[in-house]
């Protein structure tokens, strides 16, 4: 069953604090949201770690529960009395705009959006564990010479990374040149400096 395509609308909402009657949590509500190709729409709430306590309420507008709605300016930004709260409300509106833009792209260009998301997911894969997994899967088909080359690469690359694990999105020309410089300056007690051919093989 094909998922229906409706335009998702993002709106900044308020949720009353359970511990303080004057405090309200700011969050962005997105609806309708279809996740994992589900035909059933969901409401998705993204809380922003911002609390406001000086909201200006619109006495002419009420919610379904009978409470007053917050006043908003022509751009839809919730209005507050204090400068600090108003900055938080503006921040929430900016986040809402970014989220709305993402949903619009998804609705207008679904194939392109999907490709971008898949590309982003690939870029987040850590290089070292990925290569280790590839070698493990292909170990039975690799020659002993090839295995030595890969083992040598992994040893040097792991030392190059240290604790700063890199993903594929971070591996650019500058990083490759940095790795090449690391190999050129590499020296061990057993073999001394790496031969030029060895460096080329590793890279």
User: Given CA atoms 52, 58, 61, 66 in this order, what sign does their dihedral have?
Assistant: positive
Strands (E), 23-171: 24-33, 42-52, 57-62, 68-70
pTM, 2 dp: 0.56
Spacing of C-alpha 12 from chain mean position: 21
| Per-position pLDDT tens, the chain of length 203 | 444 455 899 999 999 999 998 999 999 999 998 877 677 889 999 999 999 999 999 988 776 666 889 999 999 999 999 999 999 999 999 999 999 998 898 878 777 767 777 777 888 888 888 888 888 888 888 788 888 888 888 888 888 887 778 888 888 888 888 888 888 887 765 666 766 766 666 66
Q: Which residue from 21, 32, 24 is spatially nearest to 51, judged by alpha carbons?
A: 24
Could you give the 3-state DSSP secondary structure of residue 51? Answer: strand
CB distance 133 to 117 below 8 Å: no
């Amino acid at each position: 069953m094909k998922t229906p395509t409706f335009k998702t609308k993002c709106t900044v909402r308020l949720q009353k604090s359970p511990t303080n009657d004057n405090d309200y949590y700011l969050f962005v509500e997105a609806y309708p949201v279809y996740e994992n190709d589900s035909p059933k729409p969901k409401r998705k709430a993204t809380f922003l770690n911002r609390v406001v306590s000086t909201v200006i309420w619109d006495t002419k507008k009420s919610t379904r529960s009978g409470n007053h709605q917050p006043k908003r300016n022509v751009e839809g930004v919730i209005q507050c009395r204090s400068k600090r709260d108003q900055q938080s409300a503006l921040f929430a509106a900016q986040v809402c705009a970014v989220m709305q833009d993402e949903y619009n792209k998804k609705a207008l260009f679904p194939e392109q959006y999907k490709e971008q998301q898949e590309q982003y997911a690939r870029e987040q894969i850590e290089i070292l564990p990925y290569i280790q997994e590839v070698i493990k899967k292909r170990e039975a088909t690799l020659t002993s010479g090839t295995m030595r080359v890969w083992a040598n690469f992994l040893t040097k690359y792991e030392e190059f990374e240290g604790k700063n694990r890199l993903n594929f999105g971070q591996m650019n020309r500058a990083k490759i040149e940095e790795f090449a410089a690391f190999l050129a300056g590499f020296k061990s007690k057993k073999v001394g400096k790496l031969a030029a051919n060895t460096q080329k093989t590793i890279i």
